[in-house]
Amino acid sequence: MQKPFVIYRSSAGSGKTYTLALEYLKLALQQPVAYRSILAVTFTNKATQEMKGRILQYLYQVAKADESPLRRALSEELGKAELEISLQAETVLQHLLHGYSYFSVMTIDAFFQKVVRGFAREMGLQAGFQIELDLNKVLDAVIDQLLLEISEPQHRKLRQWLTRYAEEKVEEGNSWDFRKDLKQLAFELFKENYREKQSAMAAQSVTTQSAAALLEKLRELQQAFEKHMAEIGQAALAHMEQAGVSVADFSYGKNGVVGYFLKLVDGGPFVPGTRILQGLEDTEGWVSKKNPQREQLIAIAGQLHGHLTQALDAYQEYGPLYHSVIQLQRFLYAYGILHDLESRIDHYKKVNDLMLISDAPVFLQEIIGKDDTPFIYEKIGSYFQHFLIDEFQDTSGLQWLNFRPLVENSLDAGHQNLVVGDVKQSIYRWRGGDWQLLLETIQEDVQDWRTQVKKLDHNFRSKRNIIEFNNTLFKTLPALLHQKIIEDIEEVADETLREQLLRQATIIERAYEDAPQKLPETYDHHADWQGHIRIELLNEEYCTDEEGEATDWRNYVRLKLPGLVESLQAEGCEAKDIAFLVRDKRDGRAVVDTFMQYKNEGKTKPEYDYEVVSSESLFLNASLCVNLLVDLMQFLDNPDDVLVRGSIIYKYHKLTQDSLTPDQMHRFFSGGVGDEEENLALFYQQLPADFQTFQAYLNKLPIYELAENLIQMFNLGSYHEKAYIQAFQDAVLQYAKTEQGDLHTFLGWWADQGSESSVQLSEEVNAMRVMTIHKAKGLQFKVVIVPFCDWGLDHHPFKTNILWANPQDSALQNAGLLPMKYSSQLTHTLFSQEYYEEKIRIHIDHLNLLYVAFTRAEEELYAFARPKSTRQGSYPLTGIANLLRTVLPDLEVENAGALAGWDEMAQVYEVGAAHTDSEKPGEDADVLTLPAYPSVRWRDRLSIRPLSRGIFQAKLNNLTVSQAALMQLLLIQLRSVDDLKPRVEKISFERGLTARERTVLEEQANRFFNQPEVSEWYQSGRTIYIQRPLFLEKGKRYFSLDRVLVKENSATLINFCLLHDREEKKRGLEISLSHLRKNYDHLEAFLVDVTDFSIVKI
């Protein structure tokens, strides 16, 4: 009898989706509306759509198909006749289509959002609250506000921390502009590892002052330990001086046992080496046997032995605390920054009535953990009897805690539930995924007596050679990695901790216990060709380019890729069957650039396809045509920019393949040698004549029309970048719909985020795929190429990876939860356990990446790697490349025959041979390839009213429209007159104002402040609210007041208007007065017309 809770442990290509859909049908076919009580949970929206489609497809097949293996399987499982199953499937399909909204296949986040909305009132959320999915948007706003206020006196300590953060980034070789790094640091606040411990942080009541006090305490602890050790060292050295001997008289001098006393005096390092520890046991070893004063020195060594014992005892007792203090001080600035950011995020959420998507699991834990399950179903309007959870290895701890009561309630009622997952494919731990849930926790939580584990151990995806190769490789690599971790853990001095960590390290091999897969019964064992694997390990000394010049190994691989693709297609493989899998987007971009450059250099052959599709690496800023378009727009926005002029000439000539001499290029980039008029004339001569003729006209066009005209004017549609140009126009059009449409603002948006937009091409087109390994999870391809198979096993040393821990030491017992930067230097601290546990996890993560990459292949697998050896010729296990170099020479694949093995001379491991496919390739999708990109002249189009430049230069009394808009923004955001100059500078930087425009803006603002009634609005002594939302009694948001000044029982309301919003702003003030009058003894309101600074009292 099947137990009610089934855990399916799957592997790559084992039919996981099929199994999940089959289990769904078994439950759904019990009653016509049984599907309404089933919740199937997947990991991504794409997987949700795939699962829904698969269930509907299977239902239709069972109901309608003449022959259906699935119907036969269901008949056997349910013990019913096939005809009965067919009729039931047809009935269920009809009910499901008519009640599609009850068809509950969704992501975990979607389900949690549904529960959150049901419990909004209980959670204290305002009516009409929103769940914010875009965390980047929130962080951008919060960091903008932080940087805006950082110069204020009350933020002096925070300013110091940010300065330290910027200095560290420079020391690591990164840009001092740490905005992006600060944003990355802030994402730590959204990680589940932090959120789980957030309650501990809240109990600490962390403030800027408490963080500064903690820093001072850490310094005191450091100084106290160093002072104590120095006193021991000084006493030993004084004894030696009194005896008339020096450090040089003893063995190894400063590097010997006695040299340790010098380190004590100098402030470290205090970690005792092997020689010091041996010296504690044998004082005769302190002195060389050839030393003529040996007996005297041994006697003195005996006298010094007590000092050494005292020092080592002190180190053993206080050393971990000392090293912890050092590490905490190095990263304590992040502690203060994160606290400040968290406070600002909380404030942002309250002001904007938001709940972040990352808050949902924490909120739900409070709700679901306290309420009865029936009440939860009542609130969300659904009742689920069965839970089917897919990709369970990527489920987080909090997500499972929220699901667990629902699942247990279902099991208690005798209903069937299941989870499906594969620990080996857990590569989303950075998003909160916890593979230990699937490996260990879930079975303990649900209890063994009602749990049944089933293994999906057949591979329906790959050829035999691929399967056997991966079986052998992923049996060998985990054992090797486990041994490496054991060697690292053996260095841990604490025996109890060492044994605990050794037990935890066994998880590496346990995770891969079910890696070996079988061939399905229907597999054709007699086929002539069984697949091909080729792994090339490169020595950079022998890597050369096309001219025979030495080059780095990555460039060498890039040069090989076009030839490899051509040979694959010559053997009968289509372009759409080839996938390049990379570690990150940077590598993907390198692959894309390789084929773009190959095409631009005219090296392509007509019989082969070189197109690539990538949603992650086909960025618009990789296109020469798009970059030229943006440069032309920058020139129109600011014709005085000499560097932009030079860039335009360089890119245009590169595009048209017209050569320029170095002297010519120098002239353009340096601003020329003659007067400005002559240089500008020479610039125009290099470009199409229409550009100068119609420049004034181009300046008046809205952004989309401008792009269209420039494409036609420079004939950009005739080059090999049509997809990029089309995607650029899509981005421009989308921007014009949602943002301010003037050219200057667009260029700012482009620099910040638009340039990272990617080109979206149809998945049906006959083109090669380029994607990250993370994106490829769940997919399969006939040919997989891993061009840069060289990622490390540990965290990158120059990236900030944070560990959170609560130091278990009386000296820091009130410090609470503290962040530390992951580093090998933590091995000697109080946090060594956290360090080694994370080390085990990250090693498994990186091995899993290799597993996912290698198991995507159906027929052929290619990989290139560059192992790094020591001077002694060994290959330390620091990265995937060295792992492969260690195991491949001795790797024996079963049933591979003679065409398998390691070529020592070529450093190549190969199984099988490349395949020549004589079958006719499948038909492509109906894809129309345009010979040129169509660009219609503006005269043939409807004119679109421009939003900026041109019309914006019309005068409105004293200010142009564009100046008035900036003035409105300035007056709303300004807190005091003293804040005027930095605020003007910020707006100028963001909007790219010229020095003249900046001066005009500041002068006009000062003119406004000279009015008597106005100066009071920008003085201290009042509480100031900026763009304050006004809520009516029912909680409905009506509008925002630009400026609200409150002092005791009096308030002043101010709105700043332009021509288009004068009446709306006036009406808003009138309603505010009537609504708020009962709250204040004295209430007044003013409407300021920014175009002429006229003030009307309402």
Residues contributing to the annotated binding site for ATP: 10-17
Of 388, 400, 478, whose CA–CA distance to 433 is shortest? 400
437 burial (CB, 10 Å; 0-12 / 13-18 / 19+) is buried
Residues with Cβ within 8 Å of 1054's Cβ and at least 6 positions away in sequence, in order, are: 1017, 1041, 1042, 1043, 1044, 1045, 1085, 1086, 1087, 1088
How do beta strands 130-132 and 354-356 pair?
Answer: parallel
Residue corresponding to tokens 């290029």: 665
**What is the C-alpha end-to-end distance of the chain, expressed in Å?**
79
The shares of helix, strand and coil residues in the chain, as percent rounded to the nearest 5, are: 55, 10, 30
Q: In residues, how long is the chain? A: 1098
Q: How far apart are CA 626 and CA 1073, in angstroms?
A: 52
Q: What is the DSSP string of 243-298?
A: HT--GGGSTTGGGSTTHHHHHHHHT------HHHHHHHH-GGGGS-TT-TTHHHHH
**What are the tokens at 858?**
């159906």
Dihedral of CA 414/416/422/427: which sign?
negative
Pick from 47, 11, 52: nearest CA to 35: 52
Residue corresponding to tokens 């204020």: 152
Six token digits for residue 960: 């142009």
> Distances from the Cα of 799 to the Cαs of 135, 325, 488, 786, 1069, in angstroms?
21, 21, 22, 24, 51
Neighbour-count burial of 443, counting CB atoms closer than 10 A to its CB (0-12 exposed, 13-18 middle, 19+ buried): middle
Token pair 């001066």 is at which residue? Answer: 999
The tokens describing 740, both together, are 């301010």
The β-bridge relationship of strands 818-821 and 802-805 is antiparallel
Q: Which residues are annotated as a binding site?
A: 10-17
The pair of structure tokens assigned to 516 is: 């070996």
Q: How far is CA 204 from the centre of its chain?
A: 29
Distance CA(1054)–CA(1047), nearest Å, equals: 15
CA dihedral sign of residues 207, 214, 821, 163: positive
DSSP for residue 438: I
Q: Cα separations (Å) of 624 from 17, 652, 659, 748? A: 42, 9, 16, 19
